[in-house]
Amino acid sequence: AIPDIATFSFTVTKTAATVTDAQKQATDQANAALKAVRDGGVADKDIQTTSYNINPHYEYQNGVCTSVGVCRPSKSVLTGYDVSQSTEVKVRDLSKAGALFASIGSLGVDNVNGLTFSVDKPDAVQAQARGVAIANAQSKAKELASQLGVSLVRVISFSENGNSPRPVTFNLAAQDKVMTGSAIAAPEISTGEQKVTSSVSITYEIN
């Protein structure tokens, strides 16, 4: 099966002296990234915020000794707040995926990662594999019946084992940008194939 969906996520993180300032900076950058995603043809139903976090930002300060030998202890000092927002994006038109990754990376987001290829309708692919397996089993049963000199009457049991297409993940880092002049080169996206198997066992009544 040829994967027909690409899924990736990106994170925006901003640090400022106050929560309000950090939120505004994170929101501005996240909105710019979301605009690039929508301009790339991704529908709102395929865009999902997966996390939004606000955390205090501490910096470690070493103790300072005065000229008279009095030393202040080292300590962690609250210097501001970190605001981070992570978004997951599902790309259905894979021909636009490379340009979309490039445009997101150019906006300075902290991480673009978790690139995963999958099949949109795995049940349909699994059903197709099952159909091929059943046809092969039926053909084999007829061949054996002929060689044994018996007739197939009816199917009395059926079982199946197999694997459905699973998402395949690749690493894609926002910092791995290739610059050509002032533009960012769009990476080539190779989806490859996913192998789907179905192993069936059919028991016949014979006479």
Taking a C-beta distance cutoff of 8 angstroms, is the pair 204, 141 a contact? yes
Q: Give dist(CA 43, CA 92) in Å, integer.
A: 9
Calculate the alpha carbon distances from 34 to 88, 103, 159, 166 in Å: 10, 11, 47, 27
DSSP 8-class letter at 95: G
Q: What global pTM score does this model have?
A: 0.68
Average pLDDT over residues 77-103: 90
Binning pLDDT at 50, 70 and 90, where does residue 175 land?
Answer: very low
Q: Please state, for a pLDDT cut of 90, what percent of the chain lies above it.
A: 53
Helix (H, G, I), strand (E, B), or coil: what is residue 155?
A: strand
What tokens were used for 157? 């049991």
Higher pLDDT, 203 or 104: 203
Query: What integer best gives the mean pLDDT of the chain?
Result: 85
What tokens were used for 169? 């993940």
DSSP strand pairing (47-61 vs 197-206): unpaired
With 90 as the cut, is the pLDDT of residue 103 above it? no
Higher pLDDT, 190 or 174: 190
Binning pLDDT at 50, 70 and 90, where does residue 114 land?
Answer: confident
